[in-house]
């Protein structure tokens, strides 16, 4: 008996909602979600007795299509549907062929893009855009999105339903055929996918499974952008490169005993070579045109790391100059912190501490555990175990999940044993 492939329903949910919303209109998003839910219930009931069909995606899509046709026929006068399709859905002569066409596999990619661009509505804050994309396009439940952001169910439910209201009020889905609007919105979409990836990569979520899934979803959506010529810009390639090169390191971030490993002390043989190769390929493709984006620079930094065997033979000079570029393009305290860590690698911990003290708005880092951990690390390397210990303790109080806690506890222990070792 065939088993449903991993995350089949989650993946299909996004495709089905995107297509159904294209037909029903964005103001009927809830109806589209109901139809998907119906189709899933039906699949569950039928498949558990008769087994998974050979092409489960096609089965689900066909079920959704038939249900959509039912609704369009039955509620023809009670509702208004997508304004773009207007009359075509009103006449029985055109209804079935139009719906058939809209469900054809080659239009689905466009539907997904339309939905992705619609979710990145300028009236929505970035975190709401990411939440909507995860919920609508990636099929994550409210609880799963809340888990990814380490937020409460109620808060996330509010954020998502507010987001859906903004979408519904926008009257129609984003028009990907309008080249001016498309080019205007593209940077926001890239930014949202970047943040989605980062949420997986650096976020607070404790479960490695969730992190890997967020990264995988970001990579999948970035691929959609690359496959559509108007959005396959150098920045989009660079974004894909930085995601692949970053995701390549995920398997080594947690070691066999479940401990968090910093970049300096990862088993690099566990880095994913296929992803590195794909990242390299995309990085090469991104090197056209005059524009140098933050994605180019971040991808380049990730690339430099993949060329070294460890911290000792890493080209820190190159990494520092790339961070300088990044500070010029998109300055932030986090970028400055990472730059300071690179400086410490090149010039020693005291220089690292100087750089950290010089960070503008460093108070914005006060709640970030790895800011305090970095200071602690430099103090420890300078031989000031007690000061280092204090910083690691502060970091420990800010730890966002059990893995971070365990990692920082071990650093505190290292300071303490170091202190006893040096005390005569």
Least Cβ distance, residue 414 to another protein (angstroms): 39
Cβ-in-10-Å burial (0-12, 13-18, 19+) of 349 comes to buried
Of residues 37 and 223, the one with the C-beta less far from another protein: 37
User: Nearest CA to 215 among 179, 167, 248, 260?
Assistant: 248
Least Cβ distance, residue 49 to another protein (angstroms): 5
Is 220 an interacting residue with respect to another protein (CB under 8 A)? no
The only residue of 81, 140, 237, 316 in contact with another protein, by rule CB under 8 A: 140
Is 136 an interacting residue with respect to another protein (CB under 8 A)? no
Distance from C-alpha of 178 to C-alpha of 2, rounded to nearest angstrom: 43
The only residue of 29, 43, 160, 167 in contact with another protein, by rule CB under 8 A: 43
Binding track over 47-86 against another protein, x by CB under 8 A? xxxx-x----------------------------------
Of residues 140 and 303, the one with the C-beta less far from another protein: 140
Pair of tokens at residue 113: 């893009």
Distance from C-alpha of 201 to C-alpha of 210, rounded to nearest angstrom: 10
Distance from C-alpha of 140 to C-alpha of 11, rounded to nearest angstrom: 9
**Residue 402, CA distances (Å) to 187, 206, 259, 413 in order:** 35, 7, 10, 16
Is 93 an interacting residue with respect to another protein (CB under 8 A)? no
Among 44-52, 155-163, 338-346, 404-412, which window interacts with another protein (CB under 8 A)?
A: 44-52
DSSP-derived letter for residue 265 is G
Distance from C-alpha of 339 to C-alpha of 355, rounded to nearest angstrom: 8
Is 12 an interacting residue with respect to another protein (CB under 8 A)? yes
Pair of tokens at residue 350: 């005291």
Is 144 an interacting residue with respect to another protein (CB under 8 A)? yes
Is 7 an interacting residue with respect to another protein (CB under 8 A)? yes
Least Cβ distance, residue 35 to another protein (angstroms): 12
Is 8 an interacting residue with respect to another protein (CB under 8 A)? yes
The only residue of 23, 26, 40, 295 in contact with another protein, by rule CB under 8 A: 40
CA 280, distance to chain mean position in Å, is 20
Is 297 an interacting residue with respect to another protein (CB under 8 A)? no
What DSSP line would sit under 202-240, residue for residue? HSS---HHHHHHHHHHHHHHHHHHHHSGGG--HHHHHHH
Is 157 an interacting residue with respect to another protein (CB under 8 A)? no
Least Cβ distance, residue 247 to another protein (angstroms): 21
Least Cβ distance, residue 196 to another protein (angstroms): 18
Least Cβ distance, residue 44 to another protein (angstroms): 6
Distance from C-alpha of 148 to C-alpha of 208, rounded to nearest angstrom: 11
Least Cβ distance, residue 5 to another protein (angstroms): 9
At CA 233, angle to CA 148 and CA 103, rounded to 5?
Answer: 65
CB of 174 closer than 8 Å to CB of 114: yes
Least Cβ distance, residue 14 to another protein (angstroms): 9
Q: How many amino acids of this chain bind another protein (CB under 8 A)?
A: 27
Is 197 an interacting residue with respect to another protein (CB under 8 A)? no
Of residues 103 and 140, the one with the C-beta less far from another protein: 140
CB of 86 closer than 8 Å to CB of 20: no
The only residue of 30, 37, 273, 310 in contact with another protein, by rule CB under 8 A: 37
The only residue of 57, 107, 141, 306 in contact with another protein, by rule CB under 8 A: 141
CB of 197 closer than 8 Å to CB of 214: yes
Of residues 58 and 413, the one with the C-beta less far from another protein: 58
Distance from C-alpha of 206 to C-alpha of 404, rounded to nearest angstrom: 8
Is 41 an interacting residue with respect to another protein (CB under 8 A)? yes
Residues 6+ apart with CB under 8 A from 265: none
Rule CB under 8 A: which residues touch another protein? 1, 3-4, 6-10, 12-13, 37, 40-41, 43-50, 52, 139-141, 143-144
């Amino acid at each position: 008996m065939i088993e449903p492939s991993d995350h089949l329903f989650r993946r299909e949910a996004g495709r089905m909602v995107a297509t159904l919303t294209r037909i029903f209109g964005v103001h009927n998003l809830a109806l589209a979600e109901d139809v998907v839910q119906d189709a899933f219930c039906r699949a569950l009931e039928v498949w558990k007795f008769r087994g998974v069909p050979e092409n489960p995606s096609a089965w689900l899509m066909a079920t959704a299509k038939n249900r959509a046709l039912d609704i369009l026929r039955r509620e023809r006068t009670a509702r208004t549907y997508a304004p773009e399709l207007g009359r075509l859905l009103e006449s029985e002569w055109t209804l079935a062929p139009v719906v058939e066409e809209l469900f054809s596999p080659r239009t689905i990619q466009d539907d997904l893009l339309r939905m992705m661009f619609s979710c990145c509505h300028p009236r929505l804050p970035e975190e709401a855009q990411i939440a909507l994309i995860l919920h609508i396009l990636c099929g994550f439940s409210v609880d799963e999105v809340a888990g990814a952001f380490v937020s409460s169910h109620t808060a996330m439910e509010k954020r998502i339903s507010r987001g859906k209201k903004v979408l519904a009020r926008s009257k129609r889905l984003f028009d990907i055929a309008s080249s001016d609007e498309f080019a205007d919105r593209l940077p926001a979409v890239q930014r949202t996918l970047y943040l989605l990836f980062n949420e997986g990569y650096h976020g607070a979520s404790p479960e490695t499974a969730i992190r890997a899934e967020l990264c995988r979803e970001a990579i999948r959506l970035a691929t959609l952008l690359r496959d559509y010529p108007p959005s396959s810009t150098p920045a989009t390639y660079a974004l894909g490169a930085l995601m692949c090169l970053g995701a390549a390191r995920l398997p080594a971030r947690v070691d066999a005993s479940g401990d968090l490993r910093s970049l300096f002390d990862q088993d690099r043989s566990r880095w994913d070579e296929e992803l590195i190769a794909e990242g390299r390929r995309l990085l090469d493709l991104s090197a056209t045109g005059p524009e140098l984006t933050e994605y180019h620079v971040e991808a380049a930094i990730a690339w430099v790391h993949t060329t070294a065997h460890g911290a000792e033979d890493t080209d820190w000079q190159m990494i520092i100059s790339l961070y300088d570029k990044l500070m010029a393009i998109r300055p932030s305290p986090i970028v400055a912190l990472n730059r300071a860590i690179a400086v410490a690698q090149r010039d020693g911990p005291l220089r690292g501490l100087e750089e950290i003290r010089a960070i503008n708005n460093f108070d914005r880092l006060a709640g970030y555990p790895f800011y305090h951990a970095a200071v602690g690390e430099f103090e420890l390397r300078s031989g000031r175990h007690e000061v280092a210990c204090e910083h690691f303790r502060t970091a420990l109080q800010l730890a966002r999940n059990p893995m971070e806690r365990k990692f920082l506890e071990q650093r505190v222990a290292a300071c303490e044993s170091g202190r006893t070792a040096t005390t005569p």
